[in-house]
């Protein structure tokens, strides 16, 4: 298995032991790009949210993000989560988390293999973030610079770490957060799905509390809006996730809309 690093709204009940969610999702091409290479989907049967931001010329990004989404979701649709939720494997991760990592590894292999046999798709890849709600916890995985945030009791925080040159510079103390915010190299990613035969996946498990709001988004959102602005739009919607999603897309476009903008909002109830 590839390396694993541990670290319109509707009501859905995924299973007798699952968290109930209200959710909303939006994707927009933005004001500059001619096409939308983002893909996103929410599967109420498995409690799985997936968002991917593709990259690569000649429609390669669109192909990669769509493949990632379809392969990961199909793995869960074909093989329901029937293992005990509290059982953990040798890695310290639950069976649900490991199954998600296995599905992502399969997507990585198939995207890479296709890029090797179709010359116009060489170098294609995609970021990916996913949230799998199982019982009273959520498994979060990330590859690239798409993000997962959580709003809990008025506290808004980024749960994932960007796999970018900029983040590495921040971690090494080479630049300050203010310099990073103004940097023109925000989009230089160091890890993506489908670019190499294997991929390293960041995976974490978090408890889910009633009222928690999770946001999955592509960089087209947070490159246009800082965290304070994103939090304001979510809170200002007063619990209406559909309105919050619309306001976030509109604001990101109003501030330039330089990239595709995609997001999924989910609230635990």
Instruction: Check residue 158 and give its pLDDT.
Output: 97
* Mean of the per-residue pLDDT values of the chain: 86
* pLDDT bracket for residue 210 (50, 70, 90): very high
**pLDDT surpassing 70 at residue 198:** yes
The structure tokens listed for 203 are: 């995976």
Task: Please state the rounded mean pLDDT for residues 131-153.
Answer: 95
Instruction: Check residue 5 and give its pLDDT.
Output: 38
Measure the CA–CA gap between 48 and 264, rounded to whole angstroms: 11
Task: Please state the rounded mean pLDDT for residues 115-127.
Answer: 94
**pLDDT surpassing 50 at residue 250:** yes
Instruction: Check residue 165 and give its pLDDT.
Output: 83
Task: Please state the rounded mean pLDDT for residues 206-213.
Answer: 96
**pLDDT surpassing 90 at residue 141:** yes
Instruction: Check residue 59 and give its pLDDT.
Output: 79
Task: Please state the rounded mean pLDDT for residues 66-93.
Answer: 71
Instruction: Check residue 187 and give its pLDDT.
Output: 65
Instruction: Check residue 11 and give its pLDDT.
Output: 34
In three-state secondary structure terms, 30 is coil
Instruction: Check residue 21 and give its pLDDT.
Output: 94
Cα 191 from chain centroid?
Answer: 14
> Where do the domains of the chain lie?
4-268
Structure-model confidence comparison of residues 15 and 150, the more confident one:
150
- Label the pairing between strands 4-6 and 201-207: parallel
Phi and psi dihedrals of 112, rounded to 5? -60, -45
Measure the CA–CA gap between 212 and 50, rounded to whole angstroms: 18
CATH 3.40.1410.10 fits 4-268, yes or no: no
Least trusted range by pLDDT, from 34-43, 95-104, 134-143: 95-104
Which residues make beta-bridge pairs with 12?
Answer: 21
Structure-model confidence comparison of residues 44 and 235, the more confident one:
235
């Amino acid at each position: 298995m590839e390396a694993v690093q541990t670290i319109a709204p509707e009501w859905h009940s995924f299973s007798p032991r699952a968290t109930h969610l209200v959710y909303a999702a939006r994707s927009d091409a933005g004001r500059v790009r001619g096409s939308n290479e983002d893909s996103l989907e929410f599967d109420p049967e498995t409690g799985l949210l997936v968002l991917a931001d593709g990259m690569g010329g000649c429609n390669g990004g669109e192909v990669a993000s769509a493949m990632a989404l379809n392969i990961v979701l199909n793995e869960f649709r074909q093989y329901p989560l029937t293992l005990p939720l509290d059982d953990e494997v040798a890695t310290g991760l639950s069976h649900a988390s490991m199954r998600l990592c296995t599905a992502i590894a399969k997507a990585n292999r198939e995207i890479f293999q296709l890029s090797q046999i179709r010359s116009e798709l060489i170098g294609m890849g995609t970021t990916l973030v996913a949230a799998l709600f199982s019982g009273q916890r959520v498994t979060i995985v990330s590859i690239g610079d798409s993000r997962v945030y959580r709003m809990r009791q008025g506290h808004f925080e980024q749960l994932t770490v960007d796999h970018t040159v900029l983040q590495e510079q921040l971690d090494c103390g080479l630049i300050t957060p203010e310099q990073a915010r103004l940097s023109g190299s925000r989009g230089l990613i160091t890890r993506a799905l489908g670019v190499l035969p294997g991929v390293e996946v960041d995976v974490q498990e978090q408890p889910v509390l009633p009222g928690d709001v999770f946001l999955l988004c592509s960089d087209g959102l947070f490159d246009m809006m800082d965290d304070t602005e994103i939090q304001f739009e979510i809170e200002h919607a007063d619990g209406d996730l559909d309105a919050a999603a619309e306001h976030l897309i509109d604001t990101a476009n109003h501030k330039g809309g330089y990239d595709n903008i995609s997001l999924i909002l989910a609230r635990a109830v």
